[in-house]
Amino acid sequence: MQRKIFVGLGVIIFIIVLFALTNYFYSVNRNKKNNSVSKLSFSKGVWVAPDTSLIAHTHEGDIIRYGRDLILHTARYFGPQGTVAKISNGMNCDNCHIEAGTRIWGNNFSRVASVFPVYKSRSGKLETVEMKINDCFERSLNGEKPGDNSKEMDALIAYINWVGKDVNKDIKTPGSGTESLPFLNRPADTLKGKMVYIAKCQTCHGKNGEGVLYTNGKEYEYPPLWGNHSFNIGAGMYQLSKFAGYVKNNMPFGTTYKNPQLTNEQAWDVAAFVNSNPRPIKNLKNDWPDISKKPVDYPFGPYSDNFSETQHKYGPFIPIITEKKNLKKDDEKVQKNTLLSVGLVFY
């Protein structure tokens, strides 16, 4: 009887291990497939945002248009002189999400509707669009949450969904987010970056990064890049790779992804200079509950590696990436060999 029970347990465990192995190899193949889809989508051309003139003249259309206006002129509604609430620093969402979130490599909204809700390692949670918008208000606008149940939140989501209405789920649209520039083989240089800033950026953003207000005095035509009215240390732009990619394809004025005015090195260096200057602080104690998931350019420890905060902020990043990849390969190899050995034992 005991022999039969032992054999039965062995068969059950073997089935479980076999299922785990199947799932492992399926996941690997699935990732390869998804990568090929992403590459294919790039070969078909650049994503084009829907035409705003085609927004219906209905109640739903009015909500979408209101959402777009909130993106373009956030400070009119939520800035220091806001008509809805005074809960942000005076910047507009459009200062980071250029052309109301429709510009290629300008932090556009093309994929938001198709991706969210999505798990985010920074929070360790499944995030909704509402959570993402609230997060931007607290970080990039250095303010407070506008609230999930307001008509403004409904309008923002309606507009963002409209922008991405033609994007299929799991397809990475060409030019979404910010471009990942090739990493430098040296740390980004703040002194070189300062020279780039003086030559290319100071005219619009000011000698001290203070930005320039519109004549209405309520919102920024050229946003502050550091100081009390800029984004805080928890914003996405405080990660050097995101800021460098953003700068390369959008700055200085008149730049497009087709006609950049800065080299990759200049983009890295000027991003480093801007982010070396003081800005508002945010409590980040709840960020990255799994520290091994922190991006290589996240400038606040602790880390799962032995590289310094300075190197995580300015680079060089290639040694950090190489170590991460090697550790991942080692972990996958151990996992695979363990599953195989357990399976063979019970087989």
DSSP H/E element including 200 = none
Give the C-alpha separation, 212 to 343, whole Å. Answer: 66
54-108 pLDDT, tens digit each: 999 999 999 999 999 999 999 999 999 999 999 999 999 999 999 999 999 999 9
pLDDT confidence of 340, banded at 50, 70, 90?
Answer: low
Coil, strand or helix at 69: helix
Closest CA to 93 of 136, 146, 147: 136
Q: What is the DSSP string of 155-220?
A: HHHHHHHHHTTTPPTT---TT-S---PPPPSS---HHHHHHHIIIIIHHHH-TTS--EE-TTSSSE
State the pairing for strand pair 125-127/118-120: antiparallel
Please report, rounded to a whole number, the percentage of residues in the chain having pLDDT higher than 70: 82
Q: Residue 34: is its pLDDT beyond 60? A: no
Q: Could you tell me the pTM of the whole model?
A: 0.83
Round the average pLDDT of the chain to a whole number and report it: 87
Q: Residue 28: is its pLDDT beyond 60? A: no
Coil, strand or helix at 278: coil
Give the CA angle between residues 279, 280, 281 to the nearest 5°. 120
The β-bridge partners of 33 are none
Place of tokens 């995580």: 312
Q: Residue 49: is its pLDDT beyond 90? A: yes
DSSP H/E element including 313 = helix 309-314
293-320 pLDDT, tens digit each: 999 999 999 999 999 999 999 999 999 9
8 A C-beta contact, residue 77 and residue 86: no
101-125 pLDDT, tens digit each: 999 999 999 999 999 999 999 999 9
8 A C-beta contact, residue 158 and residue 71: no
180-191 pLDDT, tens digit each: 999 999 999 999
* Cβ count near 192 (within 10 Å): 16
Q: Around 232, how many Cα atoms within 13 Å sit in the side-chain half-sphere? A: 17
Average pLDDT (326-332) is 69
